[in-house]
Structure 1
Amino acid sequence: MHLLIYLPLLFPFPAALAERLAPWLATWLLTTCALALAALNCVALGVLVVAGLVRLPLAALVGDWSLATVRAGDSVSKIEAAVAGALLVAAVLAGVRMLWRRMRALAAAAFEAACLPGPGQLVVVDDTVPDAYALPGLPGLPGLPGRVVVSTGMLDALNDADRKAMLAHERAHLACHHYSFVAAAHLAAACNPLLRPAAAAVAYTVERWADERAVTTCGDRRQVARAVGKAALATTHHPARRRVPEAVLGLLGRRRSALHGAGPVPRHVAALLAEPHAYSPPLNYPILPLAAAFAVVGASALCAFAAAHDQHVVLKLAGAG
């Protein structure tokens, strides 16, 4: 158990899937893998904590097992258990804090969306600063729908075809609930900082997903690429002046008010100008990236639960002795 328990903490996250799969599939797979790995990491830390606690005389007295048998069968030291306990507490607190922040951001976005004028989904605000973003509403509440907010400065910077692509992109964020994927990836990264590449990868893939949905609506990849490029150029010299909730997703991938720069625009444009992924489910998906993702999560789960099983066996033998 002593070696197995550390393996789930060391497995790398397959963030390269963002470039190898269709955006919608990459988003689902990356988010699911990140949440699974974060949970398994917490399980691994929890097993280390339990392994340290059962070595205490008071625990042996309460559990009615042989302390000598436990110490002989498990080499986890008290220092290791203490460090694991501190990391587990930090992970749980960070996860709760991130969950609370995201819930507040979603509520703030829904409230702001409900307060915007007009009955339709599109809201045009009189502002010379080019801006375009989607404000998610609260799921299941028809009175709090999501809204697409566009400034007059952004409309002036784009022609009719560009505006159509931009609106399709923002509406895709709402229709596919992209803010949920980003929030889940950030929750996993909060619990395990080693998963921060996952949050960055998911933030990119949801934008690519929205790009591809816009292509489906407009029927022209180059037009969507031009719209992304024009929006980036328009916002280069006009940074946003006001704070927006973290749940906001924009044409350039804005997720929070503290964003610096315009996001990975060259990658977006290059992907749009390249040939689209021609995957036809359930066949013709790239086997290697999918196998790598499942192998990482599967191996992590196997190690974590094997260590937990070994701990259970040691306690069973100690109780019998």
Structure 2
Amino acid sequence: MHLAVYLPLLLPLLAPLGARPVAERCDPRLGTWLLTGSALVLGAASTLCLGLLAVAGLVRVPWLASLGHWAPLAAHDDPTALSVSLAAGLLLGGATLTAVRFLFRRVRTLAAAALDAACMPARDGLVVVEDAAPDAFALPGLPGLPGRVVVSTGMLDTLDADEHRILMAHERAHLTAHHYAFVATAQLGAAANPLLRPLAAAVTYTIERWADENAAAATGDRRKVARAVGKAALASRHRRGRTPGGALGFLGRLPLLPGRHRRAHATPGPVPRRVAALLAPPQGLRPLLTAATLAVPAAALLAAAEATLDLHRLLESIGIR
């Protein structure tokens, strides 16, 4: 197999370098799409290439090759070492298990959130709960089960009437734009390839920026939105893990990722960065940054396609006995 099979395994190393510039400099809607798509494509491409390397190693074993009616590959020229194929097989098994486990848990969490939302008595999609602790979040719905915006009385007491409208515009943006789907998709890519965790973490920030910009467009005053976010953050600085699983809170949330990242779930998002972005002019499309970002998953797709074709040719070359 050609060395192209290794490119999708190396490109995720660029994730920490690209996540922050895209999240900070691009329009948040565009940034969310770019980061989510990159996480999904890079995760899928790297997993596919691990599978290709594993298959290339399996056909080196005579008795396994006989099951597929191939001549053993050991007699043919191929740069893929058996040890590399074995390592790829182990990594593939771990990536598949982690991704399937995450997907199962995430679907269960979102379904539970949708059922909770459907059971809550609401007026115009708003649920007010008696709780002195300031909190607000959006519970996603499913087809036939509308989502809900849940706000505590403590949060309503903290904000004034204009800030109530900002809060509602922000949370409804999460529901109408299906931000939970972007978060889940990016986290699925990161579950398959841990190197992509910076992309998934960046998506949890860009969706909040996206909702902030929607609130600013709805109210026509970016400074008021910045003030509402900062004011809510100060009032909620002692909040501890009140946002349910599957919900998107006004003050942000950290990704539900395997391992040690799970411990940071209760930590508020990067509110000062959101406030600073709202006090600055809106971000543009950034054509050069967009093109550079798109080039990375595109290269991974092309390399994965080339590697797949190469394996096909390799199996054809050893022939069916």
Residue 42 (structure 2) aligned to one of 32, 37, 42: 37
Counterpart contact for 1:235–1:262, Cα < 8 Å: no
| Equivalent residue letter for 2:71 | S
Residue 89 of structure 1 aligns with which residue?
93
Q: How does 1:1-321 map to 2 (within 5 A)?
A: 1-11=1-11, 12-13=14-15, 14-15=18-19, 16-67=21-72, 71-138=75-142, 140-141=143-144, 144-240=145-241, 242=242, 244-245=244-245, 247-254=246-253, 259-277=265-283, 279=284, 285-319=285-319
- Once residues 290 and 207 of structure 2 are traced to their aligned partners in structure 1, the CA distance between those partners, rounded to angstroms, is 18
Distance change in 2, residues 1:276/1:243 (3 Å): closer
Letter in structure 1 aligned against 2:155: M
Give 4+ residue runs of structure 1 displaced > 3 Å after superposition: 62-66, 255-258
Percent identical among aligned pairs is: 54
Q: CA deviation at 1:48?
A: 0.3
> Residues 72-111 of structure 1: CA distance to partner in whole angstroms, max 9, x if unpaired?
3213222211111111111111111111111111111111
- The two structures have a TM-score, normalised by structure 2, of 0.91
* C-alpha distance in 1 between matches for 2:162 and 2:48: 51
SS of equivalent to 1:148: strand
User: Partner amino acid for 2:176?
Assistant: A
Q: What are structure 2's unaligned runs of at least 5 residues?
A: 257-261
Query: Is the CA contact 2:243–2:249 (under 8 Å) kept in the aligned structure 1?
Result: no
Instruction: Give the TM-score taking structure 1 as reference length.
Output: 0.91
Structure 1 residue 71 displacement after superposition = 4.1
Tell me the distance in 1 between the aligned counterparts of 2:308 and 2:75. Answer: 16
In the other structure, the counterpart of 1:282 is none
Q: Deviations over 1:160-205 (max 9, x none)?
A: 1111111110111011110010010111100000000011110000
Distance 1:35 1:299, change over 3 A: same
Unpaired stretches in structure 1, ≥5 consecutive residues: 280-284
* Matches of 1:243 and 1:299, distance apart in 2: 38
Distance (whole Å) between structure 2 residues aligned to residue 38 and residue 269 of structure 1: 32
- The 3 A distance-change label for structure 1 pair 320 and 131 is closer
Q: Which whole-Å CA distance do the structure 2 matches of 1:266 and 1:119 have between them? A: 32
Mean CA deviation greater in 96-105 or 303-312: 303-312
Question: Alpha-carbon deviation of 1:316?
Answer: 1.7
State which drifts further: 104-113 or 1-10: 1-10
Aligned residues: 309
Q: Which amino acid aligns with 2:268?
A: A
Superposed CA deviations along residues 220-261 of structure 1, whole A, max 9, x for unmatched, are 000000000001001013435x5612x100111125796343
Question: Offset of 1:25 from its aligned partner?
Answer: 0.9
1:104-123 Cα offsets, whole Å, 9 max, x none, are 11111111112212343011
- The 8 Å contact of residues 253 and 267 in structure 2, kept in 1 or not, is answered as no
**Alpha-carbon distance change, 148 to 243 in structure 1, aligned in 2, over 3 angstroms:** closer
SS state at 2:99 partner? helix
2:122–2:148 Cα contact (<8 Å) kept: no
For residues 124 and 101 of structure 1, the distance between their equivalents in structure 2, rounded to whole angstroms, comes to 28
Contact 1:51 1:74 in 2 (8 A): no
Give me the whole-angstrom Cα distance separating, in 1, the residues matched to 2:4 and 2:122.
Answer: 58
Which sits farther off after the overlay, 189-198 or 287-296?
287-296
- CA gap 1:301/1:243 in 2 versus in 1, 3 angstroms: closer
Q: 1:314 to 1:237 in 2, by over 3 A?
A: closer
Give the Cα separation in 1 of the matches to 2:266 and 2:113.
21
Amino acid at match of 2:234: L
Q: Is the 1:129–1:239 Cα contact (8 Å) retained in structure 2? A: no
Q: Is contact 2:127–2:150 with CA below 8 Å preserved after alignment?
A: yes
Whole-angstrom distance in 2 between the partners of 1:266 and 1:168: 20
User: Alpha carbons of 1:116 and 1:175: their partners in 2 closer, same or farther (altered >3 Å)?
Assistant: same
Q: In 1, Cα distance between the equivalents of 2:268 and 2:58?
A: 49
SS in 2 for 1:36: helix
1-side partners of 2:102 and 2:314: how far apart? Answer: 36
Counterpart-to-counterpart distance in 2, 1:96 and 1:261: 26
Worse-superposed segment, 181-190 or 75-84? 75-84
Residues 236 and 261, structure 1, Cα contact 8 Å, conserved in 2: no
